[in-house]
Amino acid sequence: MPHRASRRRFLHTALLVAAAPALARAAVAPAPAFGPGSTAEEVTRGLDLRGKTAVVTGCNSGLGFETMRVLAQRGAHVIGTARSVEKGRDACARIEGSATAVVLDLGNFESVVACTRAIAAREVPIDMLICNAGIVLGEHEQVYGLEKQFVVNHLGHFLFAHRLIDRVRAAPQGRVVVLGSGDHRNAPPGGIQFDRLSGEGWHERGYSHSKPANGLFSLELARRLRGSAATSNCVSPGHVRTNILRNVGNAYGAHARSVGHGAATPCYVAAHPAMAGISGAFLRDFAPAEQSAAQTDAAMAATLWQVSEELTRPYLS
């Protein structure tokens, strides 16, 4: 799809957003008992999640598995997605608690449709929708003519959440949690490359480009959920030792944290009472985190939503 019109649309949207009231951000409640050394088990200790349903993408390893394990341990029924039936079922069998595996390939929009239909068919409210899965690539790859990390890390989750948002709204206090990254600061100049979503000229920063997309998606979703009981927040788990860097040599720094520490903030935002009513935030270690100008640009967030709808339109309903 040509994206020259996207820049004109972005400028038009910028004027509309500038004329509209700013998005009101709820103050994030302090969490003095928790910090960088806290684990997902510690921050959810004492919570009773029985009767609640959580959906976690990428449940078979890393942060997704730890998030699923801890939420199920606290009583939630977790619907975990994986790219194969075998991986999903194996992950669900390795935890204590109630979990159901569903197949999801975020790089295949037909798979996203099939997965969301299977989840929606359960006809239960979704209390926690955690968009966790992601990839890091070392080579320039494309899906649907678009840079693959943008598709998998952003567009797949955009479509996934878009198709399930009514189930989130049906919950007493549905929460969408999008996993971003501090690496959003290394995105190409100007933020989202609307005119070059193929990745030409910037694919070396493909992962970094997908991360402000996660933050902007969460921000715009928060605006669209305003007036409802549902919320949307983006979190950075920090530098965590998982298998996400398997395609680029597993080059982890000495300061890499465990999955227990990395999953702490996602679990906190998804389940802790202190996050009730908080929407549109970007957090790391339970506190607001520094953001680039691009990731806080309301006009860019609105344009990204429009472009994402255009790119996934045949699959939206």
Which residues have a catalytic role annotated? 207
What are the strands of the beta sheet with 287-288, ordered from one edge? 99-103, 77-82, 53-57, 128-131, 175-179, 231-235, 282-284, 287-288
* 223 three-class SS: helix
Residue 10: strand, helix, or coil: helix
CA distance 192 to 248: 23
CA–CA separation, 59 and 288 (whole Å): 26
C-alpha to C-alpha distance for 53 and 174, rounded to whole angstroms: 10
Helix (H) or strand (E) segment spanning residue 147: strand 146-147
